[in-house]
């Protein structure tokens, strides 16, 4: 991606404005949704119990509703995750960010991981939702990062996503670049630790198609400020 050609609208379209704080208030979540709609962010990502409210607040806007499944550890039964995905659809979600059972991946249980991702993605697609599979990159060596990519591709997931934000680390440029070089068709979501415009642009340049972050407004304001200064310098 040539980041020199990005407009503010383009940059906003990469963003999933996110609030997964345990102490987030209803007023904060409503403000986030209203702000994201005004900015025309791609989506707002909230906990499952906030989906119906978000769907109402975002009605008529271009911003979609996303929620998390099996969050944050991924260590839930397939049946429990299936129920979460179906409930998210009933509540008005358009996208589900599903935490892979990466403990199974670390244990070498590839078939179990593939079945989980395939089943959950199929349910999401049956309900017209996108699936984003969170693999928690901070815990995976490079070989398993590539295995995770392979499994998500095989399961026909829409996105592979780096992090929950609750692990020991967030998105890393080298991981985004590795996936971007090896992927066939899947999109990439970088999340965790993206707090500045420089962070966001590095992820996009490396190959990210979506960014999960809690500072959409600040980053877009920084982008607009930089554009304004650049324009002034031309005169």
Q: Which of 161, 199, 202, 209 is catalytic?
A: 161
Please list the pLDDT of the chain residue by residue as tens digits (235 residues).
677 889 999 999 999 999 999 999 999 999 999 999 999 999 999 999 999 999 999 999 999 999 999 999 999 999 999 999 999 999 999 999 999 999 999 999 999 999 999 999 999 999 999 999 999 999 999 999 999 999 999 999 999 999 999 999 999 999 999 999 999 999 999 999 999 999 999 999 999 999 999 999 999 999 998 766 654 544 4
**Residue 97 a catalytic site member:** yes
The residue behind tokens 């049946």 is: 79
Per-residue DSSP letter, 23: T
Is 189 considered catalytic here? yes
18: enclosing H helix or E strand: strand 15-18
Report the sign of the C-alpha dihedral through residues 136, 33, 121, 211, in that order: negative
The range of the structural domain enclosing residue 8 comes to: 3-233
DSSP state of 135: -
Does residue 161 have an active-site annotation? yes
Question: What's phi and psi for 47, nearest 5 deg?
Answer: -70, 155
Q: What is the CATH number of the domain that holds 129?
A: 3.20.20.70
Q: Of 16, 50, 97, 209, which is the active-site residue?
A: 97
Tokens 């554009």 -> residue = 227
Number of domains in the chain: 1
pTM (two decimals): 0.95
Catalytic entry in 189, 199, 202, 209: 189
On the CB side of 116, CA atoms within 13 Å amount to 28
């Amino acid at each position: 991606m040539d980041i020199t050609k990005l407009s503010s609208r383009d940059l906003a379209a990469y963003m999933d404005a996110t609030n997964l704080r345990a102490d987030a208030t209803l007023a904060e979540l409503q403000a986030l949704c209203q702000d994201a709609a005004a900015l025309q962010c791609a989506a707002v990502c909230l906990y499952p119990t906030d989906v119906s409210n978000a769907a109402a607040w975002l009605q008529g806007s271009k911003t979609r509703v996303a929620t998390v499944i099996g969050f944050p550890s991924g260590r839930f039964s397939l049946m429990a995750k299936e129920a979460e995905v179906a409930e998210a659809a009933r509540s008005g979600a358009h996208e589900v960010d599903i935490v892979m059972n990466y403990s199974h991946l670390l244990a070498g249980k590839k078939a179990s991981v593939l079945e989980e991702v395939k089943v959950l993605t199929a349910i999401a697609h049956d309900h017209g939702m996108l699936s984003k599979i969170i693999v928690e990159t901070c815990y995976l060596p490079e070989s398993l990062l590539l295995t995770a990519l392979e499994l998500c591709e095989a399961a026909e997931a829409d996105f592979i996503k780096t992090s929950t934000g609750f692990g020991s680390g967030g998105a890393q440029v080298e991981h985004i670049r590795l996936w971007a070089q090896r992927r066939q068709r899947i999109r990439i979501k970088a999340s965790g630790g993206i707090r500045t415009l420089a962070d966001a642009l590095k992820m996009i340049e490396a190959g990210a198609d979506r960014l999960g972050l809690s500072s959409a407004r600040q980053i877009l304001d920084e982008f607009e400020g930089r554009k304004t200064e650049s324009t002034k310098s031309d005169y």
